[in-house]
Structure 1
Amino acid sequence: MEFDTTSDTGWIGDVRELAHELSESSTAFAQATESVSDALFVALRSLPSELSPRSFVRYDRRDAVLLVDLRVAEEDLSGLTMEEQRRLLGPLLLALVSRGSRSRTATWSGEERALIVAEFERMLSRLSWLPDEA
């Protein structure tokens, strides 16, 4: 499964750098999911809260891509270290990928759906984007 990222951010937070970090670490995910012919595209965005940022996920059958658009309010990132931002964004991103993997329009098998989520979670864990389990 191909993987790519982008970001669209204001001045608050490190979302651009975090999107780059995800992109640089995607090789293991792509190799582990190479049996899935589609693509996963993640957009990370930080926007002012007055714009009511709402995340979304959808599978585009025409382009065979799962689009994950994580939008957070800049105010939620204000004052957080990069590590804290990772820990905020990671679970949200994993939840969106998990939801997207259940798309009824995607032609993935149950095993492929589980593989996408498991490998994405593994990538986030390696990057310390998920809270440590107690």
Structure 2
Amino acid sequence: MTTYKASVASTREANVYQAQVRDFKIKYDLTGRRNGYEKGLDPKEALLCALGACESIVAGSFYRKQHFTYRSFYLVLNGTINGDRPGFDEIKWMLILIQMSRKKIQKSLSNLWRIPAQFVII
């Protein structure tokens, strides 16, 4: 069994919190400001980041096991919330792979993800 520990504390500014895991810190801003002066991530944005990180780790492991190479890849995630209930109503993502053959990518991705996604191959 593995146990993980995280702490979250309020800051001197109302509705701004700081989370810490090991030596890493993330600020969360719940003020709803959208004027370029945000103090940190909105928790929903952080959730998309965590999901993207997990998917990237899985994809990287899968690619290594399939013995094909790429220069780099990244995911772009977009989550939609309609406001009627907590949570995302829809999450769309786009995988961007650089330097790989199109045919090999399509075959490999269809084996990895069984959900509709948009792929960009550079």
Fold shared per TM-score above 0.5: no
TM-score of the superposition, structure 2-length normalised? 0.39
Structure number, greater radius of gyration: 2
Structure with larger RCO (C-alpha < 8 A, sep 6+) = 1
TM-score of the superposition, structure 1-length normalised? 0.36
Q: Which has the higher helix share?
A: 1
